[in-house]
Amino acid sequence: MSKSREPVRLDVRKAYTLFINGAFVRSESGASDTVGVGTDEPATVARATRKDMRDAVVAARNAFARWSESAPMQRGLALYRLAELLDARRMEFVGRLRIGSRLDEADALRETIAAVDRVIWYAGWCDKYATIVSSRDPVADPFVTLTAPRPMGVVGTLAPDEPSLLGLVSAIVPALVAGNTVVALASETDPRTAIVFAECLATCDMPPGTANVLTGRRIEIAPHLARHRDVDVLHAYGLDTPFATELERLAAADLKRTHFAAANARADYFSSEAQDLAHVTAFVTDKTIWHPAAI
């Protein structure tokens, strides 16, 4: 009697797709890039096109009213839920960072913990920051002016290449705190970690389209993001000067606000300056009204 053989089982490889409007979709063109060439775990990652970017902007615009008008406490709870999900998958992120960013285990764990802590820190500001930055100023009697922060709208952000997780968190979360919606282009060198992060975004109680994550090439997507008239703010980390100047020129066509942070070293993202209320207020506009003064 012949012995039964164990069935041959192929590895289930992860599909790295785009995260648009709360769903994981392939690139409209079917284009992809291979990352991790020369390592034990190369992978195929979706390469976003201009059409994919436009779809993400439409999703972010449609989600803006629901997200910005939600109670600040509810935004904070959604972000805290994001931190819970990140922490629950801590060792998975450590493994992804070791593969994609080629970090040792200690550095990968340090970055993952820092990302979780940063989301929690910003979540706590959702229902507090407006009190800090609002003002009541006396003007000609019998009036006062009341000034309060309001979200800008749709934020297009270019995350740094490294640190791929902490940099992405630092780019996305402050804009969400202020009630904006986001279209983010992830790290080119380690896009796989961004898609795992997007899986946490998908289940953290944010409306679909609130945060969208694209993978692809900055040189192909960023100029279209800069000139898109439904993007209100263009934000980026560590761009070289000629490229930043070109993006500012394109963004100026519709008076888009640009916010290009100078941080370009890995250590900068672990500094105290990288976690500051100023990163939230960079994504707000002040609304001022005249009001009769109380007698």
Q: What is the pLDDT of residues 80-130, one digit of tens each?
A: 999 999 999 999 999 999 988 888 999 999 999 999 999 999 999 999 998
Alpha carbons 136 and 264: distance in angstroms, whole number: 38
Q: What is the pLDDT of residue 263?
A: 62
267-276: average pLDDT:
86
DSSP 8: P
20: β partners = 23
**E strands in the chain:** 18-20, 23-25, 32-35, 43-46, 135-138, 143-151, 154-158, 181-185, 211-214, 233-237, 257-261, 284-292
72-88 vs 191-201: helix crossing angle, rounded to 10: 130
Q: Greater confidence, 142 or 18? A: 18
For residue 5, is pLDDT > 80? no
Condensed to tens digits (0 to 9), the pLDDT of residues 18-36 reads: 999 999 999 988 888 888 7
Residue 215, C-beta contacts closer than 8 angstroms, at least 6 positions apart? 16, 18, 33, 45, 46, 47, 48, 185, 186, 191, 194, 195
Q: Where are the domains of the chain?
A: 18-34+43-292
Q: Are 59 and 208 in contact (CB under 8 A)?
A: yes
Question: 38 falls in which pLDDT band (50, 70, 90)?
Answer: low
Confidence of residue 240 (pLDDT cuts 50, 70, 90): confident
Is 165 within 8 Å of 87 (Cβ atoms)? Answer: no
How confident is the model at residue 289, as a pLDDT? 80
Coil, strand, or helix at residue 147? strand
pLDDT tier at 59, thresholds 50, 70, 90? very high
- pLDDT, tens digit (0-9, with 9 covering 90-100), for 210-225: 999 999 999 999 999 9
Query: Domain 18-34+43-292: which topology?
Result: Aldehyde Dehydrogenase; Chain A, domain 1 (3.40.605)
**Both tokens assigned to 213:** 């994550």
Q: What confidence score (pLDDT) does residue 113 get? A: 96
Q: What is the pLDDT of residue 106?
A: 95
> How much is the pLDDT for 165?
95
pLDDT in tens, 145-196: 788 889 999 999 999 988 999 999 999 999 999 999 999 999 998 899 999 9
SS3 content of the chain, % helix, strand, coil (to 5): 45, 20, 35
- CA triple 64-68-71, angle to 5 deg: 145
Note the pLDDT of residue 1.
Answer: 53
Mean pLDDT, residues 27-52 = 84
C-beta of residue 170 within 8 angstroms of C-beta of residue 184: no
Between residues 41 and 294, which one has the greater pLDDT? 41
Average pLDDT over residues 227-246: 91
